[in-house]
Amino acid sequence: MENNIKTTCLHGEHLALGAKMSPFAGFDMPIQYSSITEEHLAVRQKAGIFDVSHMGEIFVNGPDAEKFVNHIFTNNVSVMEEGQILYGMMLYPDGGTVDDLLVYKEYAPDAFLLVVNAANIDKDYDWMLQNAEGFEVGILNDSDNWGQVAVQGPESEAVVGKILNLDLSGLSFYHFVDFSLYGKRAIVSRTGYTGEDGFEIYATPEATVDLWKAFLAAGVLPCGLGCRDTLRFEAGLPLYGDELSAEISPVMAGLSMFCKLDKEEFIGRDALASQKADGGARKLVGIEIADKAIPRAGYPVEIEDGTQVGTVTTGYHSISLDRSICFALVDSAYSALGTPLNIRIRHKVFPGEVVKKRFYQTNYKK
């Protein structure tokens, strides 16, 4: 293992299971255990468990915590209740995306947990520190002291409740509760990245290893990052670096609903308002092609005369739907539903058309 590649607290468990490992976001992570198809279908039909301990946990507290988080975050934390979670982004002044993240409003005054993408932990932490001047806040990157697993699928409520000895039937979508494991704080939230009902559990690294073993003993299938990507993609969920980036704003990505332009201010607000007003030059769309060929990231999107008008960001032959589909960033003039577009796959052109980005009907318990 190269010295600059990190490992999660569950790394030994993955190796013991014979997982196919690969570097991801600076971590040596499991891509699959059995097969991507088997793991994908387990989540859609029963339940699967993911190691997401590589994600970052940054705590913000202090008298100006709410004001500060609202300053760096596109969604509006002023309307949150304790135990609620909001999705949104941190932006550069030009509207480009620093990261997309979850904000947890703690069961304590003036305190928030920000859960950020693994590849962006250091960048996000530095960004918060750079923009904290004038705010009376404490900002703690506590990522190394937390492990995290995600249990996803229609059977997740029953199995998570049984393993944690908690009644989770009343826990609403995008809400969380604190509990105790081995005398230390743990968190369970009704969140996920698959389009199915599910939970994410944060605990100490030691407790996370025991949780992993308990879920596997209960028959929950271990799942790797391969099917995590196929699942989130079918559900129309973006991946930072593909559908959001410093060059791709939430408006371009079709995520304006998570950007509250009626807030007094936030970094990047004026740029987003301008993009919304003029429609923006590019938009993220879904495309379905009438063939089993797979449109991969980076493939050109063309109109009939061969002019390139966009680029694929993510593409698969959908496991759940048995269709070849992709996300693509295209010139806005070609973003309307039903617009015919071609995908160039190597030396051949495959016809397709613009469809809704949520390819799969999600099954969240709201």
Q: What is the mean pLDDT of residues 287-296?
A: 95
The CB density around residue 189, as the number of other CB atoms within 10 Å, is 25
pLDDT tens digits for range 98-135: 999 999 999 999 999 999 999 999 999 999 999 999 99
Strand partners, 165: none
Cα–Cα distance for residue pair 135/233, rounded to 1 Å: 37
Give me the pLDDT at residue 279, please. 83
Q: How large is the C-alpha radius of gyration of the chain?
A: 21
Place of tokens 């063309």: 302
Give me the pLDDT at residue 280, please. 83
Place of tokens 């199995």: 159
pLDDT tens digits for range 24-48: 999 999 999 999 999 999 999 999 9
Burial class (CB in 10 A: 0-12, 13-18, 19+), 173: middle
Res. 2: pLDDT tops 70? no
Residue whose C-alpha is closest to residue 151's, from 39, 284, 47, 274: 47
Cα–Cα distance for residue pair 113/205, rounded to 1 Å: 18
Residue whose C-alpha is closest to residue 285's, from 260, 307, 317, 309: 309
Sheet-wide strand order for 48-51: 176-181, 184-189, 198-203, 147-152, 48-51, 221-223
Confidence of residue 1 (pLDDT cuts 50, 70, 90): very low
Give the predicted TM-score (pTM) of the model: 0.97
Token digits of residue 76: 């509006």
Residue whose C-alpha is closest to residue 143's, from 163, 166, 120, 111: 120
* 52 conformational bin, left if phi > 0, alpha if psi -120 to 50, beta if neither: alpha
Res. 366: pLDDT tops 90? no
Confidence of residue 139 (pLDDT cuts 50, 70, 90): very high
Token digits of residue 279: 């429609």
Give me the pLDDT at residue 3, please. 65
Res. 236: pLDDT tops 60? yes
pLDDT tens digits for range 191-204: 999 999 999 999 99
pLDDT, mean over the chain: 97
Confidence of residue 309 (pLDDT cuts 50, 70, 90): very high
pLDDT tens digits for range 60-107: 999 999 999 999 999 999 999 999 999 999 999 999 999 999 999 999
Q: What is the mean pLDDT of residues 132-141?
A: 98
Cα–Cα distance for residue pair 297/69, rounded to 1 Å: 33
Q: What is the mean pLDDT of residues 325-352?
A: 97
Helices 36-45 and 225-234: crossing angle, nearest 10°? 50
pLDDT tens digits for range 161-196: 999 999 999 999 999 999 999 999 999 999 999 999
Res. 324: pLDDT tops 60? yes
Strand (E) or helix (H) holding 355: strand 348-355
Give me the pLDDT at residue 90, please. 99
Q: What is the mean pLDDT of residues 205-231?
A: 98
Cα–Cα distance for residue pair 204/104, rounded to 1 Å: 18
Residue whose C-alpha is closest to residue 363's, from 250, 231, 242, 238: 231
Cα–Cα distance for residue pair 328/315, rounded to 1 Å: 9
The proportion of the chain whose per-residue pLDDT surpasses 70, expressed as a percent, equals: 99
Token digits of residue 222: 């271990």
Give me the pLDDT at residue 89, please. 98
Cα–Cα distance for residue pair 155/215, rounded to 1 Å: 12
